[in-house]
Structure 1
Amino acid sequence: MCKVMQTKIVTLIYVLLTPFYLLSLIIPKNKKLIVLGSSLGQHFADNPKYLFLYLEKHSPAFEYYWITKNKNLYLKMKSERFLYLYSWKGLWILLRAKYLVLSHQVNDIFPPLHGGKKIIQLWHGTPLKRLGHDRDALLNSKTKNFLKKIFYAVFPHLYYMRADYIIVAADNQKKIFSSAFKLPEKKIFVLGQPRNDILFQKEKISSVYTDKTDFLHTLSSYNKVISWLPTHRHGSNKNIMNLLFDYSFNPKEINRQLKENNSILIIKPHFIELNVLKDKLENFSHIYIYDEADPYPLLSFTDILVTDYSSIVFDFSMTKKPIILAPFDYDEYLNNFKDFYYNYDILLKDYPKVYDWKELMNLIFCEKKIIEGRNFLAEFNQFEGNSCERVVKFLENLVTGSLYIND
């Protein structure tokens, strides 16, 4: 079943469950109870993950839980504060919580029970491409946007961009998020992204962060750890296989080059495409498929980041390690996705660009013209570290009524 059809079916189910939303409005809320969730409820990842792990080591002035729709993930975590949504305790905690902390959209945690709640949106990166209202205004017809406006007026709990507070990494993002979410800038707070704290703490990475701990700690034996993190081509027929084999990816030759230079190429698909490459490249000693949803433990061990249109470039730039842009399908992508906030070439002009795998390998192992030791995107991250601490302080002020917003 295609993703569009799945989305329509889920939306229909949520519409039919609207009576439960109305019921959730009248359930008394615990003002010191916060529920976290991420990645459409399927993964333990992104900014809420690192905030949750920070909370586990500290004693905040509020009660907190993680709620997931993924039963296998719930069974794996084995934590009293990690709940399965479709259980009596999971449903009750969600009904009673006053605050939700999300990373993607309202469907990170079951929308039909969102009545009477405030949403704190941590989001999942500094946006290169347009979001929410901005994207709709650019790409949709006026009629479609008008119909969507009516639909979300009737079913407000289903509006995927609903948020009451947003956390961003720098002042220059407040205007963008304000426009995308139709939220006043006074409700957008510059506190940093919790997930970026781990970029400077790889020695602390253990099994609570990733199942790949043993693998990650073997990477110090390589001269270069090269991580490729391409963007998911939503709305097109392309997937990560196209980005490999349509652009001169010769695994045998690339593996030879990597082996000769004692280097490893780690391919990290978008979490939507984690299974696309399964078993496809397992016979190559120096090419590895990283099949976890969360890339941030991997980034802590990465020497060279290769990406294309992903906002991960803003985060990794803080490490001052080399970044190579590989927009293999540049003309096609920009023609299909005309929704960038910035001019791609101007914003990222200081980073080298390659347009197929031969160019990429040549740049790394032959030309070696890779810039390091500089952060060309410093204005997009005002903080290096301690973002979790700042966000927790914000939440404590919020739940205790100490947060002051000038009206």
Structure 2
Amino acid sequence: MNKLIGVIREQGWKRLFQIIYEVKINNLITKFVSIIFRRSGLKNIIVIESHNDFDCNGGAFYNYLIEHGYNQKYLIVWLLKKKNDIKLPYNVKKFLLHRPSILKSYYISRAKIFTSDNEVVPKARDDQKMYYFDHGSICLKNCKPFFNMSRKKIDYFFSPSPNYDAIYCNQMSIEYPNKKMLYLGYPRHDIFYVDSEKEIEKLTLKKYNKVILWMPTFRKGGGFKRNDSLLDFEYGIPLINTEKDFCEINDILKKNNTLLIIKIHPKQDIDTIKKLKTICFENVFIVDNDVVKEKNIDVFKLLKNTDALIS
């Protein structure tokens, strides 16, 4: 009751009802359905969640499954953050992650394998396997206040190296050492080693000597009223504070026939980048969620075709 009152005081009634609808009812339905099928065997079902739907490690893993025909044996269930009318191949289904569904709960209660990049969907049974891919190679800022993976029933974590495990476990609030770390490389890294279309041509057909990709992480966003910075940014990104700054950067880029692509983090609060979206320069392109969806851009294919990364 105290926790309930705390949510109302800090976040308001609207947020309370949102939590009840998106989380509590979802979990209750899944728990009820899993009780019904607790004595039934698991089925060949893989449940996938990715950072921004069909992208990141979950998206790369899914593409691998489809390209190698695993959907002939396994039913693949996508849990999406946003409604998407994309046509799916054989034996692939999609559900909204934050909307209650009895059928979705049935698949969750019977699935053998779960993968997650960002929001961990609680597995229903101990004999199911949950793999946490993560959506970043390593933590570039202090994420410990926002993660407590010890509360999640995660069987394995993907890690870039044993040398990083102590930091990773500290940031994720899980015990260290443990036997849950897997060093298989991240699924999305496979994109670097296969032929792919020129993603830059989805943005422009003009030829540049060099292309630089800048991917600043979010400062404000990523959760309810979450703000990871003590500073206010005019355009929602660091370093550039005035239109004059943009003009100076564009002049340097133009002089060197170089393109700068600023890829906005998908969790960045959209109100903070409204002014940024009005910027129009010949050698500076702004790529936000809307552009990614409209032009069907894969960030790692884009990265593969650039000359430098600022991160």
With structure 2 as the length reference, what TM-score do the two structures score? 0.71
* Partner deviation per Cα, 1:276-316 (whole Å, 9 max, x = no partner): 54573453121111224652122111212122xxxxxxxxx
Residues 77 and 238 of structure 1: CA distance in aligned 2, closer, same or farther (over 3 Å): farther
The one-letter code matched in structure 2 to 1:226 is: I
Counterpart among 283, 288, 295 of residue 286 in structure 1:
283
Q: Does 1:126 align with 2:126?
A: no
Q: Secondary structure at the match of 1:20?
A: helix
Q: Which moved more, 1:8-17 or 1:265-274?
A: 8-17
SS of the equivalent of 2:238 reads helix
- Residue number in structure 2 paired with 1:36: 48
Give me the whole-angstrom Cα distance separating, in 2, the residues matched to 1:259 and 1:64.
Answer: 50
Q: 1:252 aligns with which of 230, 247, 251?
A: 247
Counterpart position of 2:157: 166
Question: 2:109 is matched with which residue?
Answer: 95
Aligned residue in 1 for 2:218: 232
Give the length in aligned residue pairs.
268
TM alignment of 1:135-150, pairs within 5 A: 135-136=144-145
Cross-structure match for 1:323: none
Q: What residue in structure 2 maps to residue 52 of structure 1?
A: 62
Shift of 1:22: 2.6
The residue that corresponds to 2:76 in the other structure is 65
Whether contact under 8 Å (2:30, 2:108) holds in the other structure is no
Amino acid at match of 2:247: K
Matched residue, 2:300: 296
- The 3 A distance-change label for structure 1 pair 265 and 128 is closer
Alpha-carbon deviations, 1:106-161, whole Å to 9, x = none?
2xx4x5xx321431101122224455xxx25xx99xxxxxxx9xxx9xxx9xx4x5
Give the equivalent residue in structure 2 for 1:15. Answer: 24
Matched letter for residue 15 of structure 1: K
Q: Percent of counterpart pairs with the same letter?
A: 26
For structure 1, list consecutive stretches of 5 or more residues without a partner in the other structure: 141-147, 207-211, 308-407
Distance 1:287 1:271 in 2: 19
Q: Distance in 2 between matches of 1:273 and 1:16?
A: 27
- CA displacement at 1:192 relative to structure 2: 0.6
* 1:351-390 equivalent positions in 2, closer than 5 A: none
Distance 1:162 1:21, change over 3 A: same
**Contact residue 43 and residue 111 of structure 2 kept, 8 A:** yes
- The structure richer in helix per residue is 1
For normalisation by structure 1, the TM-score amounts to 0.56
* 1:173-229, Cα deviation, whole Å (9 max, x unpaired): 33444453337622211111111122344x4247xxxxx56426847x211101111
CA distance 1:9–1:197, shift in 2 (3 Å): farther
Local SS of the residue matching 2:28: helix
C-alpha displacement at 1:241, in angstroms?
Answer: 2.8
Runs of 4+ displaced beyond 6 Å: none
1:165-184 maps to which residues of 2 (within 5 A)?
165-179=156-170, 180-182=173-175
What RMSD, in angstroms, separates the aligned Cα atoms of the two structures? Answer: 3.6
Q: Match of 1:349?
A: none
Q: What are the Cα deviations for residues 236-267 of structure 1, in whole angstroms up to 9, with x where unaligned?
A: 36455352543786223322222221111100
Deviation of 1:59 after TM superposition, in Å, equals 3.4
- 1:188 is aligned to 181
Distance, in Å, in 2 between the alignment partners of 1:22 and 1:32 is: 20
Preserved CA contact (<8 Å) 2:209 2:257: yes
